[in-house]
């Protein structure tokens, strides 16, 4: 009886010490085995060969999202102006200066992520980015999305936001760093930045789940009756700013995946994701080796 009691106690203590990041939940939705191999210490270091340009572009886009208030302020004439007697800048020159200001210092902010990137490649990608985003700013459709009736940027202008706010919940055994956190008199609003594809309507399922996970962390941190009811997803590549309600089903999904991730981090080898991108996975060879070993062990 004592042995069983001790085993249950150990199991409970182990479950409580398993720390999960919100990013683990999003990785699980891509493929549960990503969580497994990273939990085993096989996290890839640096940027995979051939992926450098895409990673650099994503970093630059994310920094653009953190600084959209600069572009939004231009709508109200709050941008940099010329002194008396000086010639006004062309729209093209003005746009280029704004984008250059935004990406200036990116190497220092993302020093760890960019440490293995060659200087020449980074500068080349940065120049391409400045050129393309300057063209976007001259594009009425893109700029209109930023400047006209943008609920998120209006909130940011009125209340500001905290960048990359980190939270830890001992109760959930989970931590996370939300891209933007806006606090108004009435509510707390989490915002996440995405540099990939934007859905035609609403937001992706994984993004709703991610916002729900952040919502629960916020509520734990505030230790009050605060209920986080909504969040924003910034699909920055196409300048789409989607507001979404955080519903019960999103919270339920986040908790369901949290339990599964804890089991995986505890040593359970999971099935592969239905739509796992195996051809692009850095763990593909390791994954097949593990599968073969298990098949041999259990005679499958």
Q: In this structure, is residue 290 part of a structural domain?
A: no
Q: How many CA atoms lie within 13 A of 116 on its CB side?
A: 12
Residue 110 lies in a domain: yes
- Residue 114 predicted with pLDDT over 70: yes
- Indicate whether 271 belongs to any domain: no
Both 226 and 99 in a single domain? no
Judged by phi (left if over 0) then psi (alpha if -120 to 50, else beta), residue 296 lies in: alpha
Q: What percent of the chain has pLDDT over 70?
A: 77
Domain shared by 90 and 223, yes or no: no
pTM: 0.84
Averaged pLDDT for residues 57-84:
74
Indicate if the alpha-carbon torsion angle 216, 180, 34, 39 is positive or negative. Answer: negative
pLDDT tens, residue by residue, 20-56: 999 999 999 999 999 999 998 876 655 666 678 999 9
Q: Has residue 80 got a pLDDT over 60?
A: no
Instruction: Write the CATH number for 161.
Output: 3.90.320.10
Instruction: Report the C-alpha gap between 173 and 51 in whole angstroms.
Output: 33
160 shares a domain with 37: yes
Res 21: pLDDT: 96
**What is the tens place of the pLDDT at every residue in 118-134?**
999 999 999 999 988 88
* Residue whose tokens read 């001790």: 6
Number of domains in the chain: 2
Q: What residue numbers bound the domain in which 105 lies?
A: 52-149
- Look at residues 66, 269, 262 and name the one whose alpha carbon lies nearest to residue 173: 262
- Residue 2, domain member (yes or no): no
Q: What is the pLDDT of residues 146-179, one digit of tens each?
A: 766 578 888 998 999 999 999 999 999 999 999 9
Residues 32 and 101 in one domain: no
Q: Are residues 168 and 209 in the same domain?
A: yes
């Amino acid at each position: 009886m004592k042995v069983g009691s001790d085993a249950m106690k150990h199991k409970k203590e182990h479950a409580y010490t398993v720390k999960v990041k919100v990013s683990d939940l999003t990785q699980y939705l891509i493929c549960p085995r990503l969580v497994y191999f990273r939990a085993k210490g096989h996290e890839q270091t640096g940027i995979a060969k051939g992926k450098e340009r895409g990673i650099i572009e994503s970093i630059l886009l994310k920094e653009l999202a953190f600084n959209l208030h600069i572009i939004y302020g231009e709508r109200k004439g709050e941008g940099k102006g010329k002194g008396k007697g000086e010639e006004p800048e062309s729209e093209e020159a003005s746009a280029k200066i704004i984008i250059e200001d935004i990406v200036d210092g990116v190497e220092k902010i993302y020093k760890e992520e960019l440490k293995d990137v060659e200087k020449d490649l980074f500068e080349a990608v940065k120049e391409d980015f400045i050129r393309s985003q300057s063209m976007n700013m001259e594009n009425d459709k893109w700029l209109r999305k930023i400047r006209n009736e943008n609920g998120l940027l209006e909130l940011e202008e009125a209340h500001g936001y905290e960048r990359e706010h980190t939270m830890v919940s001992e109760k959930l055994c989970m931590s996370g760093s939300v891209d933007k956190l806006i606090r108004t008199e009435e509510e707390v609003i989490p915002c996440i930045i995405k540099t990939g594809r934007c859905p035609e309507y609403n937001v992706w399922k994984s993004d709703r789940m991610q916002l729900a996970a952040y919502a629960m962390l916020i509520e734990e941190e505030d230790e009050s009756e605060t209920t986080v009811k909504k969040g924003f997803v910034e699909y920055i590549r196409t300048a789409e700013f989607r507001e979404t309600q955080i519903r019960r089903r999103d919270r339920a999904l986040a908790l369901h995946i949290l339990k599964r991730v804890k089991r995986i981090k505890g040593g359970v080898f999971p099935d592969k994701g239905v739509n796992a991108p195996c051809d692009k996975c850095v763990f593909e060879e390791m994954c097949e080796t593990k599968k073969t070993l298990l098949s041999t062990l259990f005679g499958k």
